[in-house]
Amino acid sequence: MNTAAAFADFRTYPLISALTAVQTLADRVQVTWADGRISPFHYQWLRDNCPCPLCVYTVTREQVLEIVDVGQDLIPSQVHIDADGCLYVDWQEGHISRFDPGWLRAHAYDEESRAERRASKPKASLWRSDLQLPVFEYSELMTDTGALRQWLLAVRDIGLTQVRGVPTEPGSLKLIAQRISFIRESNFGVLFNVQSKADADSNAYTAFNLPLHSDLPTRELQPGLQFLHCLVNDAEGGESIFVDGFAIAQALREEDPESFQALCEIPVEFRNKDRHSDYRCLAPIIALDALGQVAEIRMANFLRGPFDASVDDMPRLYRAYRRFIEMTREARFRLMQRLNPGELWCFDNRRTLHARNAFDPATGARHFQGCYVDRDELLSRILVLQR
């Protein structure tokens, strides 16, 4: 049933509750559901969302109607619940719209329905040093879409995962990253090699200790996911360290709200230059989403330019910046582990900050490969796997 209504989307919408009554008001209908919920739908909204093949191109399932092409005061000549349980609207202009009750309920905008949708959005599960690290097997991820989905959900919600049993041939990383989607290329290549080099174009390519940071904070959009794959690790030192940047931001918000505020408000410039490129981005260290939740951390002390804040803001920016870095050094937040050949880290680069202890290249070889995949690719892949 409901084919007329259902083709407006690639997803299917289960019938949560049937439509039992519909009442017409001046500018909207008010429907009553079998479970007692009442949802208003403005006439404009209904006309705007008409799923018929004149309003939505059936091949792309994208809208061709633009709401300005129908009258603002449009009202229906007839509204009822039809034999299929759909909301049937006969518009005065002679157009007919039918709305699948599953789709309608999924998009209802009464207070209760909106609160329900907000509550069902995926939430970051914050962690500290006692995280039970989610570990996955390469062979399963490459063959089993159920295992793949579990892994991707852990990357999305926890922001730090490890994969074991990965082949140690250079380039193997590409195959597993492409299980998600496109790799995001950068000036460091499709895959970058993390090795100590004499002509290093980044501190990452030295044997130095690297403090907790996100990669490419120098870009308007920092890469969403980062992969680090260990091929060889014979050198002493070089342990990986991670902190949940969202957990630190949350703790800062509670323990020192003024510093939290300063890091959300005052932009800081990050820079990365070499002979051929010059990347710069001016943005606050903590970014909030439209609902005021922490959505992103941008931090790499070794890529930061001099602060350029007002004379009044400078002391509070330093206080906040020092506090944030001190917190990244606190044991309560830090997870430290040495990566062995055939293991890889996959983490949310815009949330989970990573660091490396100094290593001693004289004690043996060390070779990691890395790459990036954007968050959009991860989220899209999860939604398609869940269809």
Residues at the contact surface with Zn ion, assessed by CB under 5 A: 50, 52, 54-55
Give whichever of 60 and 310 is closer to Zn ion, judged by the CB atom: 60
Show Cβ contacts of residue 59 under 8 Å, excluding neighbours closer than 6 positions.
none
* DSSP codes of every residue in 312-343: THHHHHHHHHHHHHHHHTSTTT-EEEPPPTT-
How far apart are alpha carbons 289 and 287 in whole angstroms?
A: 7
Please, what is the minimum distance in Å from the beta carbon of residue 55 to Zn ion? 3
Please, what is the minimum distance in Å from the beta carbon of residue 44 to Zn ion? 14
Q: Rounded to the nearest 5°, which phi and psi values hold at 152? A: -65, -35
Please, what is the minimum distance in Å from the beta carbon of residue 82 to Zn ion? 15
Bridge partners (DSSP) listed for residue 337: 240
For residues 362 and 301, the answer to whether their CB atoms sit within 8 Å is: no
Give whichever of 28 and 95 is closer to Zn ion, judged by the CB atom: 95
Give whichever of 62 and 199 is closer to Zn ion, judged by the CB atom: 62
Please, what is the minimum distance in Å from the beta carbon of residue 95 to Zn ion? 5
Please, what is the minimum distance in Å from the beta carbon of residue 61 to Zn ion? 13
Give whichever of 55 and 344 is closer to Zn ion, judged by the CB atom: 55
Give whichever of 29 and 373 is closer to Zn ion, judged by the CB atom: 29
DSSP letter for 305, please: P
Please, what is the minimum distance in Å from the beta carbon of residue 87 to Zn ion? 13
Q: Which residue has the tokens 């602060």?
A: 307
Q: Residue 48: which H helix or E strand, with range?
A: helix 43-48
DSSP letter for 306, please: P
Give whichever of 52 and 75 is closer to Zn ion, judged by the CB atom: 52
For residues 252 and 262, the answer to whether their CB atoms sit within 8 Å is: no
Q: Which of 89, 94, 106, 86 is nearest to 39 (CA)?
A: 106
Give whichever of 64 and 385 is closer to Zn ion, judged by the CB atom: 64
How far apart are alpha carbons 163 and 140 in whole angstroms?
A: 10
Show Cβ contacts of residue 384 under 8 Å, excluding neighbours closer than 6 positions.
none
Rg (CA), the chain: 26
Please, what is the minimum distance in Å from the beta carbon of residue 24 to Zn ion? 19
For residues 37 and 30, the answer to whether their CB atoms sit within 8 Å is: no
Alpha-carbon distance values, 6 to 64, 76, 289 (Å): 16, 21, 31
Please, what is the minimum distance in Å from the beta carbon of residue 70 to Zn ion? 10
Give whichever of 4 and 141 is closer to Zn ion, judged by the CB atom: 4
For residues 280 and 267, the answer to whether their CB atoms sit within 8 Å is: no
Please, what is the minimum distance in Å from the beta carbon of residue 56 to Zn ion? 7
Give whichever of 9 and 140 is closer to Zn ion, judged by the CB atom: 9
